[in-house]
Amino acid sequence: MGDDSDHVTSKELRTPRAAAIAGIVFAILFSTSYFLILQHAPGNSGNLDKWLALNSESLSTGISLLPYAAIAFLWFMAVVRDGIGHLEDQFFSTLLFGSGLLYLCMTLMSAALASGALAVFVKHPELATKSGFLDVIRAISSESMSIYAVRMAGMFLFVLGSIWTRTGLAPRWLAALTFASALLLLFTVSLNRWMVMVFPSWVLLVSIFILVKNYRGEHAAP
């Protein structure tokens, strides 16, 4: 009986730590992917076909990292729900995980479009560039990531900030930072492509906070 109790306690301590590490993994993978995709990227009037020809390998690597980043984010969402525990409300939980899943859908759709466009360009470069195919795909992929995914990330942060404020599960400074990030992502007018990095930066901060909190909790326990 005593062994079973020790096992359950140990399992409960390991779960949030593993998920918090997954949040850090998400932030690292997403940031690396985004940098590989956008490094030396031309503007809207730039030479897109020349850029693709020179950076096809780094683009392919960056795109291939995004599915793994999405898996890590699912683990992160699990630890957020675990942290809410018995205080979880069905209304807020539906909004929270609905917006989180939509964020992943928009991000992966953007990656799939970019991957498909790159595959077509590698096989038929002249057809892809002359038909305007690349310009159309780039516009759709860019807006999917920088507008729709960013708005869903803002919704995720706004709902989580509301939950933390109502329950007191997070310190005030973290809830305030979450609300500020949410408003920035929800209502920003600029289409600055680096605005996408606000969300993974927030995930990294919260994951480190959870790790530190659990580390201190373990050492404070008798």
pLDDT tens by residue, 176-212: 999 999 999 998 866 677 788 999 999 999 999 888 8
Cα→Cα distances 198→57, 58, 202, Å: 26, 23, 6
Whole-number Å distance between alpha carbons of 81 and 97 = 9
pTM metric for this prediction: 0.83
Whole-number Å distance between alpha carbons of 10 and 208 = 20
pLDDT tens by residue, 104-160: 999 999 999 988 888 888 887 777 677 777 878 888 888 898 889 999 999 999 999
- Three-state DSSP at 46 gives coil
CA R_g for the chain:
20
If we measure between CA atoms, which residue out of 65, 69, 48, 71 comes closest to residue 118? 48
For residue 88, give its domain range. Answer: 2-220
Domain count, the chain: 1
